[in-house]
Amino acid sequence: MQLFEKLIEYPEAERLVFESTPRLPVEETPLGEALGLALAQDLAATTDSPPFDNSAVDGYALRSEDAEAGRVFGVVDEAPAGRPAKRSVGEGEAIKIFTGGVIPDGADAVVMVENTSGWGEEFELKKVPSPGDNIRAAGEDTRNGDVILAAGTEVGAPEIALAATQGYGSLPVYRRPQVVVLSTGTELVEPGTRDLDPGEIFDSNSYAIVAAALEAGTDARRLYAASDDADTLRAAIEEALETADVVVTSGGVSVGEKDLVKSTMLDLGVEQVFWGVKFKPGKPLFYGTRGETRLFGLPGNPVSAVVCFDLFVRPALMGMMGREDRRRPRVPVYFERDVVNKFGRLHAMRVSIKRTEKGWLAESVGAQGSGLVSSLTRADALALVGPASDGIPAGEPIEAIVLRQEKLLS
């Protein structure tokens, strides 16, 4: 029988994971596929932006020195966006211009059509513009050569917009991790396919883990749910290893006779980094490497699988993507009543949190069994109870990992 040789503490396990999950290689990635990735280099402006002086409004470009209320101007050309005027503006002349149109030579101001008698061959000026009025100057946004985005920046919609203004069709970012997720367990049935026979349950872990991996910004896919049969398991893990940067399994990693995930991985050349963490929920967590691939064997209990993903796999994936914010925020929380920890190991307790004048009040979401999936939907945070003490007195602050960051704004 296999038994845990050595259980390690949570911070040690986290450190071992972080140390062995360096950033993935840098890849020029099309702009449309770079969302959520981190820039590997500073990005410099390739041109002044805007590239030319242009109009901020619809109206007439003219010489401000000619401007006088009541003066009539002759319209000699037009400059819609994308089609510069062919003529320049002389004394008493104006060129019809639209937002984004190039300011014609000779003109130094644009008057809004609302401040004239209207559109036509000529118009009367109603309100006198000052030099530079309604002109967006070349380079007023960014200057050629300026660093517009620093290395390490996470690419979001604004960063994509800024890069596009500079003509970048692709960005140098750390490659997006490919995650392959597989559930193990002969009892598992694919949800939506049929009713359960006695002893069966629906596979929820692989769906939850893929969703969480996508949320972390990776490319994640499920492999079919494997059984506990050794050959099936081996074939599935082998297939996962072909494409994955990170393989995540659930179930079959504890000390039961049917728990073959660890031995199968070791047979396939995976080097164990650790197996067993003094942590609840998730004691049997396995972590190993093979070449550049990282493998996490998450426990099968749905709460353990999700919590272990969040605390170990998610930050590993985000670190591989070059994301600085890989660790979730932590806040001190207190309880209204004494809390016991009779597990003899660190308990990451599912709690809801509420802001009070004394700080963040935590309340257990209820029973803490590792199979209680519904409890996850009510958990805002994981309060870290222990490991040194067997409890904490009411009112004493402890650290909590915030799962729902939006709670911190409430």
Examine residue 264 and tell whether it contacts ligand AMP (CB under 6 A): no
Residue with the two structure tokens 């979001």: 156
Q: What distance in Å separates the CA atoms of residue 20 and residue 245, rounded to the nearest whole number?
A: 13
Residue of 14, 159, 203, 380 that binds ligand AMP (CB under 6 A): 203
- 114: Cα separation from own chain's centroid: 45
Residue of 101, 299, 315, 319 that binds ligand AMP (CB under 6 A): 299
Examine residue 297 and tell whether it contacts ligand AMP (CB under 6 A): no
Q: Which stretch binds ligand AMP (CB under 6 A): 14-22, 93-101, 184-192, 323-331?
A: 184-192
Examine residue 302 and tell whether it contacts Mg ion (CB under 5 A): no
The 3-class secondary structure across 345-398, one letter per residue, is CEEEEEEEEEEECCEEEEEECCCCCCCCHHHHHHCCEEEEECCCCCEECCCCCE
Comparing every residue's Cβ against ligand AMP, the nearest one is 300
Residue of 301, 341, 364, 375 that binds ligand AMP (CB under 6 A): 301
Whether 285 contacts 308, CB under 8 Å: yes
Examine residue 201 and tell whether it contacts ligand AMP (CB under 6 A): yes
Whether 177 contacts 240, CB under 8 Å: no
In three-state secondary structure terms, 313 is helix
Nearer to Mg ion, 104 or 252 (CB): 252
Tell me the DSSP string of 97-117: E-TTPBPPTT--EEEEGGGBS
Q: What distance in Å separates the CA atoms of residue 59 and residue 57, rounded to the nearest whole number?
A: 6
- How many residues touch ligand AMP under the rule CB under 6 A: the total is 18
Nearer to ligand AMP, 185 or 386 (CB): 185
Examine residue 307 and tell whether it contacts ligand AMP (CB under 6 A): no
Whether 397 contacts 356, CB under 8 Å: no
Examine residue 252 and tell whether it contacts Mg ion (CB under 5 A): yes
Nearer to Mg ion, 59 or 251 (CB): 251
Residue of 104, 302, 315, 322 that binds ligand AMP (CB under 6 A): 302
Applying CB under 6 A, the residues found at the interface with ligand AMP are: 183, 185, 187-188, 201, 203-206, 250-252, 254, 256, 299-302
Q: Which residues bind Mg ion (CB under 5 A)?
A: 185, 251-252, 300
